[in-house]
Amino acid sequence: MSQFEPTPGERSLAELSPSALESFAETVRGGVVTPGDPSYEDARTVWNGLVNRYPAVIVRCSGVADVVETVGFAREHDLDLAVRGGGHNVAGSAVCDGGVVVDLSELDGVRVDREHQTVRVGGGATLGDVDRETQLFGLATPLGVVSKTGVGGLTLNGGVGHLRRKHGLALDALESVDVVTADGTVHTANPDRNADLFWAIRGGGGNFGVVTSLEYALYEVGPEVLGLFVWYDAADASAAFDTFREYADDAPHESSVIALYAYVPELEEFPRDRWGDPAVVFLGCYAGDPADGETEFDALRSVETPIVDLSGRLPYTGLQSMLDPDYPDGRHYYWKSIYVDECSPEVVDLLVEYGADSPSSLSTVDVWHLGGAISEVEKDATAFWQRDRPYMVTFEANWDDPTANDENVAWVRDGIADLAALDVASGGYGNFAGFLEDPARNVYGDNYDRLVEVKRRHDPENLFHLNTNVDPA
Ligand SMILES: Cc1cc2nc3c(=O)[nH]c(=O)nc-3n(C[C@H](O)[C@H](O)[C@H](O)COP(=O)(O)OP(=O)(O)OC[C@H]3O[C@@H](n4cnc5c(N)ncnc54)[C@H](O)[C@@H]3O)c2cc1C
């Protein structure tokens, strides 16, 4: 697109009658941002610098009524509708070319109910917003591992974090949601009301409507937890992964560990003479009393002499934001995932081979130990299908050089394809799903047909289709 050509947002806006836009803007209390407005550039920008889309109308919703109006406006004018929670999806599905964006970022309120040990969270809140409030009372709900991520996208597709083996997925802690469906109706969905919608929302992603608030169960966590963060030379990869496998086989549910192939960052906490060296890292948390866990990670901390061992007690909120600086806004990102039934030597060889060949030293290959509370829920109890997989492998390409886009994307795709060729690997996680190019059944498995039924009831025209789509047709 040359700088003189109209953008998709400008073109689409030009087709709307000014009076239609004006009367819509009068019905909305939040800001309505269109191309040319001073805040347009900021409003259309998402976390992944690879994403550059031009919506026609962005609505900074101030409440549920704004969401209802915006959904109706998009439907009436036959425009694509994107939903923005925290804006952190790698695929950039929070924005669309030429369509309407329901921007929920102002719906970020958090209220803890101490009596019932629950927290009510706005659909545009971030994980950091939630942890900050719940930790005032020594409570937490299971979310993810980077505080700037949005609760909306993370929870609706699963939500794996440092508490996953003890307390399950983020969606397992959900007790109730408020959701605006495609016809503009506001529903409360929980086990007793609109149970089909509640089932579908827990794992079916953004397919069923705009979730304006979420209520989660809270558990006693922190304020201090025991964190694991130990770095070994990549030459010790084989011994490190052997230890990881043995440890994972009978780890307690309190313990959730990720093994990563990474490169030593240029940060003060790391020995300067090792900066840039390839490494194998264990990152995790013991989500019980830190005193009980003091020796829990001994085996993982003594594989060989580490490059550095930063493990120890720390505030839960510190653990939850520890990785934030690694994922700045505007960098280029492309991430994909696949589940594996065993962390077999074949799998490890592949991970190490790809880790060593990564085009960017900011990239990582991660093995998440799952199981525990996640696999104690039946596979069809919620729409989240992949519960019985003990490990998930994610390839995270992170890079700054815009001329290196193709090789970084290819690195991830080739790595996932090579793993997929092994008998033990299949499926994919909806929150680490590249540019959403894979078939929906890859994520939803055998729950897909039931998702289609619920979709037909609540979104027969597929208004909410900018996601890993459940196609009502
Ligand atoms: C730095 C970083 C760290 C991450 N760490 C983890 C992790 O530890 N664990 C994990 O499980 N995932 C993790 N993820 C993946 C993350 O869960 C997804 O990227 C998720 O989509 C982000 O949600 P969001 O609301 O910020 O995204 P957005 O880009 O705003 O939304 C993505 C999509 O989700 C849907 N959506 C979002 N909010 C709503 C809503 N309120 N109502 C209806 N639909 C909605 C829409 O379809 C939207 O297009 C991480 C991502 C990043 C960028």
SS (H, E, C) the chain: CCCCCCCHHHHHHHHCCHHHHHHHHHHCCCEEECCCCCCHHHHHCCCCCCCCCCCCEEEECCCHHHHHHHHHHHHHCCCCEEEECCCCCCCCCCCCCCCEEEECCCCCCEEEECCCCEEEEECCCEHHHHHHHHHHHCEECCCCCCCCCEHHHHHHCCCCCCCHHHHCCHHHHEEEEEEECCCCCEEEECCCCCHHHHHHHCCCHHHHCEEEEEEEECEECCCEEEEEEEEEEHHHHHHHHHHHHHHHHCCCCCEEEEEEEEECCCCCCCCHHHCCCEEEEEEEEECCCHHHHCCCCHHHHCCCCCCEECCEEEEHHHHHHCCHHHCCCCCEEEEEEEEECCCCHHHHHHHHHHHHCCCCCCCEEEEEECCHHHHHCCCCCCCCCCCCCCEEEEEEEEECCHHHHHHHHHHHHHHHHHHHCCCCEECCCCCCECCCCCCCHHHHHHHHHHHHHHHHHHCCCCCCCCCCCCCCC
Compute the distance from residue 196 Cα to the ligand 1 centre, in Å.
Answer: 22
Predicted pLDDT of residue 83: 98
Is ligand 1 within 6 A of the CB of residue 145? yes
Mean pLDDT of 459-464: 98
User: Ligand 1: which of 149, 169, 432 to mutate, most ligand atoms within 8 Å of CB?
Assistant: 149
Model pLDDT for residues 342-363, shown as the tens digit of each residue: 999 999 999 999 999 999 999 9
Model pLDDT for residues 59-86, shown as the tens digit of each residue: 999 999 999 999 999 999 999 999 999 9
Model pLDDT for residues 307-340, shown as the tens digit of each residue: 999 999 999 999 999 999 999 999 999 999 999 9
Is ligand 1 within 6 A of the CB of residue 112? no
Is ligand 1 within 6 A of the CB of residue 99? no
Residue closest by Cα to atom 4 of ligand 1? 146
Compute the distance from residue 431 Cα to the ligand 1 centre, in Å.
Answer: 6
Compute the distance from residue 88 Cα to the ligand 1 centre, in Å.
Answer: 5
Is ligand 1 within 6 A of the CB of residue 94? yes
Compute the distance from residue 254 Cα to the ligand 1 centre, in Å.
Answer: 25
Residue closest by Cα to atom 43 of ligand 1? 210
Predicted pLDDT of residue 294: 83
Mean pLDDT of 105-132: 98
Compute the distance from residue 156 Cα to the ligand 1 centre, in Å.
Answer: 8
Predicted pLDDT of residue 1: 59
Mean pLDDT of 280-295: 92
Residue closest by Cα to atom 44 of ligand 1? 206
Residue closest by Cα to atom 31 of ligand 1? 153
Mean pLDDT of 172-182: 98
Is ligand 1 within 6 A of the CB of residue 416? no
Is ligand 1 within 6 A of the CB of residue 253? no
Atom number, ligand 1, closest to the C-alpha of residue 214:
41
Percent of the chain surpassing pLDDT 70: 99
Compute the distance from residue 145 Cα to the ligand 1 centre, in Å.
Answer: 12
Domains annotated for the chain, with CATH where assigned, are 8-103 (3.30.43.10), 110-220 (3.30.465.10), 224-426 (3.40.462.20)
